[in-house]
Structure 1
Amino acid sequence: MKYSKEYVTKEEHIDVQGIMDGLYYPFYMEYCRHQYIDEVLGFNLENEAKNGVNMVLSGYTISFLRSLKKGDTFTVTCELFRDKGDAPKIHFKQSIILNGKVTTKATFTGTCVPATGGRPFLPESLKALIEEAPVLED
């Protein structure tokens, strides 16, 4: 299921060139991804952390295709994928879209770890949802 949220570029995120600083693109993707994780997957990051389960990123790749400018209204998408090798990982493909064109695309990979330390794992509640997700192909 593809999920999306709309955002407006904030003035404080604009650099001296009049475009959004590259640092902020992943932040907008994070806002969308966290809402997706909560609203669609039913995994509330704050509650889970209080219960000793931390969802963390293990990596991401990002490609910048076009720049956003001050005041742009854009859409961020998020879609869940399961790991090809059945590792305890989840993948999120995300895009930033402005006027029907992709400006940025990324894949974020995450897992869960016990707050006290230990090996990566996926809680049973997430495993059931991930079984329905498509496999992330390279």
Structure 2
Amino acid sequence: MEFSKTYTAKDEHIDFQNIMDGLYYPFYMEYCRHDYIKEVLGFDFEEEAKNGVNMVLSKYTLQFVRSLKKGDEFIVTCNLMVDKSNKSVLHFKQTILLNNKVVTKAVFSGTCVKAGGGRPFLPENLLQKLTGAPEWDGEL
């Protein structure tokens, strides 16, 4: 199931070339991904942190295809995938689209860790929601 949100490129994110600074693309993806994790997966970052469970990124790969400009209204998508070999890792395949054309594509990988340390894991309530999720094929 693809999840998406619409955003507008903020003036303060535009650089001297009149395009959005590359630093901000992952932030918009994060906003969408966090909404997906909370709204669809039911994982509330704040509540879980209070209970000693932190969801963290372990890696991401991002490819720029074209640039956003001041005032552009764009869509950010998020699709969940599971890892073939490591059941404690989630992958979020994301795109930024402008006029139905890919601007940026990325895969963000993450897991959960206890605030006090220990091995990466996924909480049981999260694992239950992963049934039927596609496996990540390693492609952006």
In which range does the TM-score fall when normalised by the shorter chain? over 0.9
Aligned-CA RMSD value: 0.7
Whether 1:61 aligns to 2:61 is: yes
Which residue pairs with 1:21 in the alignment?
A: 21
Which residue pairs with 1:30 in the alignment?
A: 30
Distance 1:82 1:131 in 2: 9
Whether 1:86 aligns to 2:86 is: yes
Percent sequence identity is 66
- TM-score, length basis structure 1: 0.98
Which residue pairs with 1:50 in the alignment?
A: 50
Instruction: Report the CA distance between 1:46 and its aligned residue.
Output: 0.5
Which residue pairs with 1:97 in the alignment?
A: 97
- TM-score, length basis structure 2: 0.97
**SS where residue 67 of structure 1 aligns?**
coil
Instruction: Report the CA distance between 1:131 and its aligned residue.
Output: 2.6
Which residue pairs with 2:74 in the alignment?
A: 74
Distance 2:10 2:86 in 1: 39
Distance 2:61 2:87 in 1: 18
Equivalent residues in 2 for 1:3-14 (5 A)?
Answer: 3-14=3-14
Instruction: Report the CA distance between 1:126 and its aligned residue.
Output: 1.1
Q: Which moved more, 1:18-27 or 1:120-129?
A: 120-129
Question: What is the count of residue pairs matched by the alignment?
Answer: 138
Unaligned residue ranges in structure 2 (runs of 5+): none
Q: Is the Cα–Cα contact under 8 Å of residues 82 and 131 in structure 1 kept in the other structure?
A: no
Unaligned residue ranges in structure 1 (runs of 5+): none
**SS where residue 42 of structure 2 aligns?**
coil
